[in-house]
Amino acid sequence: MTVQIDHALEEIRRFRPSPEFAAQAVADARLYQEAEGDRLAFWARQARELLQWEKPFTRTLDWSNPPFAKWFDDGELNVAVNCLDRHVDAGHGDRVALHWEGEPGDSRDVTYAQLTDEVKRAANVLTELGVGEGDRVAIYLPMIPEAVVAMLAVARIGAVHSVVFGGFSADSLASRIDDAEASLVITADGGYRKGKVFPLKPVVDEALAKAEGGTVRNVLVVRRGENDVEWDASRDHWWHETVAEASNEHEARAFGAEHPLFILYTSGTTGKPKGILHTSGGYLTQAAFTHRNVFDLHPETDVYWCTADVGWITGHSYVVYGPLANGATQVLYEGTPDTPHPGRWWEIVEKYQVSILYTAPTAIRSFMKLGRQIPHEFNLRSLRLLGSVGEPINPEAWIWYRHVIGGGSIPVVDTWWQTETGAIMISALPGITDLKPGSAQVAIPGISIDILSDDGTPVEGEGGGLLVVTEPWPSMLRGIWGDPERFKETYWEKFGDKYFAGDGARRDEDGDIWLLGRVDDVMNVSGHRLSTAEIESSLVAHPWTAEAAVVGAADETTGQAVVAFVILKASQVEHVTDVSEAAEELRRHVATQIGAIARPRQVFIVNELPKTRSGKIMRRLLRDLAEGRQVGDTTTLADTSVMTAITEQVR
């Protein structure tokens, strides 16, 4: 197998689209020329053709106050109507929108007509609970159909959702509720994960006790885990009672294209997560355009499956808004890939005849480790397109994905984008672009990407530097919730009118783009963003910790892993008899404070940290240690003997 892959890597650096695929492809090579000729006219056409506008727009882009863009801003639409009612009106009410699969094996098919009905009822309940236009609603749910319903019901009434991933802790949830001043939380009693029910409502109760703002007036609870929950009758409402009883008549109002749609918190370079704000018309246009063209969606025949949780941007754009705007039929799966057996995903592909699969390199690499015999027990011949997102996909994983999962000849598209970009920015178009394993390849039509050196000079031809977006795009973030200054500083200060993505990139001799990872203190663990500063401040909040430094170290499966170096307080050192127990306690502490995804792979208890004369921690040296390399140049350290001492403590 390895020999075969090495051979394939050497021999085949590029894959031409098959003529059969190209003949039926949704995307058309002329899209590039059209967008190059008149970028704004191109996006205006997409917005008109892909969406239903209650009031047509006449202005495409207003960039008179950069970096605050307005797209299609005199137009009006209702996002939920675009995802639901118009498909029913077009006669597709009986089409399955969601093939939902619960982790224990229960399942439900929800048609477009049923989903529309449920969203209308939920919208009425939200209104009855006092949620109005512009109000924020926090959503903390497992991957169940109600998560999709909740998001669309909020959108339908012009409120703003803030979905918080179900793996985040009470503290993380509380700070997000406070920052957005949410007035309602939608949650479940619990959900299934790894064969067990994980509680959600108790976490919400704890978060609300911690939230300082006291803004939440009501909690709407879906019954899923059937676990015991405490009940505050003045605040808590069962979904199955209120939504079922509500009327399914709901007249949707149209809102301006720049009406806020959602806030999604993501890690930045400071300890405080940023509330990334997205609005309606531009976001939905680019989500729908990319979903249709990058995934070659044929809504009448395809069964699409994006494995991301709705708690992340991928779940927003490619589980909810893109696919539903396009009238797709998709799979929604509640659980983990290996429960109750390691072939669970492939069993689902076979059961629903999935034709398009979109997932993350981490998942692919963990399947690679388990071996090809597991997927080979299932019939995966329905697959005709594979996608990857979240982190660079190494060529070996790309080839394995195409061969073992895809049967050897179907397109694999590697898609680069971010919470901030809202939708895919760099990707091959299947059927058109020659595919190159390991490279995200080219900007999609209508998107202008460049690579700059640190002083802002464009890198001509082949070469590496910093990735920027040079022109505003429809699904771009409109700001950071409540913090316009941070928005400007983080993304626009470095290069003026160009959006600085925070990623390093290289352009090869063919003009294809290779992503090289983050250039700031943001880590990427299993395709999820974590900030070194946020984990450091959590470690420092522990009573034992005097100082902490966190680095992202290369990890074979998860891309990067969190590795922490901690100095204990002198007053604590004598009480800590077992260093590994202390390390374990600190790992647990981070998981409780932030969420299990942030739990460090390793915590090293050390006596000192490497610092420059000005007191800055040299993370580069710690990264060398964490990755098992010879430690690099230490000449700028205030005390060069420190690294020798740390190395001895760590090894």
311 lines the binding site for ligand PRX (CB under 6 A): no
CA–CA gap between residue 141 and residue 190 (Å, rounded): 8
307 lines the binding site for ligand PRX (CB under 6 A): no
CA–CA gap between residue 62 and residue 165 (Å, rounded): 33
Nearest distance from residue 421's CB to ligand PRX, in Å?
Answer: 8
Q: Which of 165, 295, 417, 544 binds ligand PRX (CB under 6 A)?
A: 417
415 lines the binding site for ligand PRX (CB under 6 A): yes
80 contacts: CB under 8 Å, gap ≥ 6: 119, 123, 152, 153, 155, 156, 252
Nearest distance from residue 583's CB to ligand PRX, in Å?
Answer: 27
Nearest distance from residue 596's CB to ligand PRX, in Å?
Answer: 17
Residue type for position 235: R
The residue among 142 and 502 lying less far from ligand PRX, judged by its C-beta, is: 502
The residue among 476 and 625 lying less far from ligand PRX, judged by its C-beta, is: 476
Q: Which of 266, 286, 475, 538 binds ligand PRX (CB under 6 A)?
A: 266
The residue among 114 and 421 lying less far from ligand PRX, judged by its C-beta, is: 421
The residue among 520 and 547 lying less far from ligand PRX, judged by its C-beta, is: 520
CA–CA gap between residue 103 and residue 337 (Å, rounded): 9
H helical segments located in 57-103: 79-83, 85-87
Contact 138, 173 (CB under 8 A): yes
Q: Could you tell me which stretch among 160-168, 231-239, 374-382, 411-419 binds ligand PRX (CB under 6 A)? A: 411-419
The residue among 62 and 520 lying less far from ligand PRX, judged by its C-beta, is: 520
280 lines the binding site for ligand PRX (CB under 6 A): no
Contact 413, 398 (CB under 8 A): no
Contact 375, 353 (CB under 8 A): no
Q: Which of 76, 117, 334, 391 binds ligand PRX (CB under 6 A)?
A: 391
| SS3 call for 454 | coil
Strands (E), 268-309: 274-279, 303-306
Which H helix or E strand runs over 266? strand 260-266
The residue among 355 and 362 lying less far from ligand PRX, judged by its C-beta, is: 362
CA–CA gap between residue 268 and residue 550 (Å, rounded): 14
- Binding-site string for ligand PRX from residue 69 to residue 98, where x marks contact by CB under 6 A and - marks none: ------------------------------
Nearest distance from residue 514's CB to ligand PRX, in Å?
Answer: 9
465 lines the binding site for ligand PRX (CB under 6 A): no
Contact 194, 167 (CB under 8 A): no
User: Which residue reads 């994905």 in tokens?
Assistant: 401
Q: Which of 169, 307, 314, 330 binds ligand PRX (CB under 6 A)?
A: 314
- Binding-site string for ligand PRX from residue 349 to residue 388, where x marks contact by CB under 6 A and - marks none: ----------------------------------------
Q: Could you tell me which stretch among 19-27, 255-263, 345-353, 496-504 binds ligand PRX (CB under 6 A)? A: 496-504
Interactions with ligand PRX, residue window 517-576 (CB under 6 A): 518, 524, 528-529
502 lines the binding site for ligand PRX (CB under 6 A): yes
Nearest distance from residue 308's CB to ligand PRX, in Å?
Answer: 8
389 lines the binding site for ligand PRX (CB under 6 A): yes
Q: Could you tell me which stretch among 204-212, 369-377, 498-506, 636-644 binds ligand PRX (CB under 6 A)? A: 498-506
Q: Which of 17, 315, 387, 390 binds ligand PRX (CB under 6 A)?
A: 390
The residue among 181 and 508 lying less far from ligand PRX, judged by its C-beta, is: 508
Please tell me what DSSP assigns to residue 441. Answer: B
Nearest distance from residue 467's CB to ligand PRX, in Å?
Answer: 8
Contact 479, 500 (CB under 8 A): no
416 lines the binding site for ligand PRX (CB under 6 A): yes
Q: What is the DSSP string of 187-238?
A: EESEEEETTEEEESHHHHHHHHHH-SS----EEEEE--S-------TTTEEE
CA–CA gap between residue 361 and residue 400 (Å, rounded): 11
- Cis amide bond preceding 67, omega within 30: yes
Q: Which of 51, 243, 477, 515 binds ligand PRX (CB under 6 A)?
A: 515
Contact 582, 544 (CB under 8 A): yes
19 contacts: CB under 8 Å, gap ≥ 6: none
CA–CA gap between residue 87 and residue 81 (Å, rounded): 9
CA–CA gap between residue 487 and residue 275 (Å, rounded): 10
328 contacts: CB under 8 Å, gap ≥ 6: 97, 291, 297, 299, 302, 304
414 lines the binding site for ligand PRX (CB under 6 A): yes
275 lines the binding site for ligand PRX (CB under 6 A): no
Nearest distance from residue 413's CB to ligand PRX, in Å?
Answer: 9
Please count the residues of this chain forming the interface with ligand PRX, following the rule CB under 6 A.
22
The residue among 184 and 306 lying less far from ligand PRX, judged by its C-beta, is: 306
Nearest distance from residue 357's CB to ligand PRX, in Å?
Answer: 15
Please tell me what DSSP assigns to residue 435. Answer: B
Q: Which of 118, 179, 503, 512 binds ligand PRX (CB under 6 A)?
A: 503
Nearest distance from residue 419's CB to ligand PRX, in Å?
Answer: 3
Nearest distance from residue 346's CB to ligand PRX, in Å?
Answer: 23
Q: Which of 153, 252, 429, 440 binds ligand PRX (CB under 6 A)?
A: 440
397-403: long-range contacts, CB 8 A cutoff, minimum separation 24: 397/361, 397/364, 397/365, 397/368, 398/437, 398/438, 399/5, 399/8, 399/9, 399/437, 400/5, 400/364, 400/368, 400/372, 401/364, 402/15, 402/437, 403/5, 403/8
Distances (CA, A) of 482 to 180, 263, 269, 277, 501: 8, 11, 17, 10, 21
Q: What is the DSSP string of 397-420?
A: HHHHIIIIITTTSS-EEEEB--TT
Which two structure tokens, joined as six digits, stand for 440?
């995200």
User: Which residue reads 């922490």 in tokens?
Assistant: 564
Nearest distance from residue 365's CB to ligand PRX, in Å?
Answer: 14
The residue among 112 and 262 lying less far from ligand PRX, judged by its C-beta, is: 262
Q: Which of 419, 433, 439, 490 binds ligand PRX (CB under 6 A)?
A: 419
Q: Could you tell me which stretch among 38-46, 63-71, 136-144, 409-417 binds ligand PRX (CB under 6 A)? A: 409-417
418 lines the binding site for ligand PRX (CB under 6 A): yes
Binding site for ligand PRX (CB under 6 A): 266, 313-314, 389-392, 414-419, 440, 501-503, 515, 518, 524, 528-529
